[in-house]
Structure 1
């Protein structure tokens, strides 16, 4: 009996493994999330971002779950791809979930109200805390230019000053970076999100500075006008002050002559009266 039991044990173990695999397979949930392509709008401006996200009221992305077994999709959880927190911690984000009457499928829609550039990214949908899929909002690059931490697209400088211009690239997927200058067609800087210009001059730096970025969904540019003062600009205030001083002196001299003449008339010393 012991020999027969020993021979049957491997068979029983194999059968048990097959049964467990069948149970796991029967409980498998399929999860998919639709990617969403976001169209950008032409700003029509000579400076700033060429194509913008615009004032969209809402973006939505849909997660679908289905099961052919006894385990039904009962809970949906959304999060950003690089975060463990629920996406709904952002008050602009809401989730609408619907389960089928037969319990074998369900959908969950993540809504972003009044979306901003940073929302064009990846979101993960997790079903029953085990099965998951990633969906993406996709767009051409979205660009923001900053000078000293503020959004600037028209910067005035004196010759000899220095400036650091940041080009923040968002959108999904991320694009490359290329800098150009209208005053110097040969200038070309790539793969650096910060352009540093030291000791700017009117001849070499005044004009449009462009940050361009491209991915497989399109290309975008952002332009800033660097308004370097002309060396003659130093003379303008001095000339204006000089003119004011001359005008004041003329007024004073004329008044003194008039006052002197008036006193002579009053005192009877007017030579013309003789």
Structure 2
């Protein structure tokens, strides 16, 4: 796989990343209100990648609202979303959005799903060729808004105020609480389960919350010591990845620090040297390449 140097904050005008963070927060809040306040009795469920991978009418409505708001605020930027409706741009910035991350939880009324809104430089279609510069992840049920911009730290805003996020001080994998998730294809889930069986005796415990965006933000907030998952798309992780990094977490992929569909992992800084090689080895052994 060919990779390209990741852009840095110096490629953006001074102060722009913070402005983009505010836009991401505003847009995420608006979409969050929509999916809660206007949730219909009939969610109009259909399937995407497999029979167990649902999409609802609210996924599409949320994305349409996000695109509308971004077009008004940033008309020259491109948009890449999980649902239909992507658009091109001329600014070199792309908004990478997941209108409802954790649709199964939303479908079942489990209050652990998110609206994820990030803006990146580079090409989000090519692993290693893009970098998030601002983003927000909102849990519409709890009102928790995780947000960050490149070089500006990570924060959690609730009705009680805003606080800075930091990854845990954990240093022992055997005592690590680890988050993960699973894909929708049956064969992939089988392989992911084999990895889990191999990993579970080596860590404190496993949590499976049902959405990558909130898992990555949980890593940032100290609710998890480490995290890993395969088969993630850019919209699943763009905003959460930035929040986690800005909170001090170390993130990587199957080789080096390039995150790919084969593997995304993150850990508290004191765990990374142990957890990264461990989960890389297990992913290579059990999951393999998804290309």
TM category (shorter chain) comes to: under 0.3
**Could you tell me the TM-score, scaled by structure 1's length?**
0.24
**Could you tell me the TM-score, scaled by structure 2's length?**
0.23
| Greater gyration radius | 1
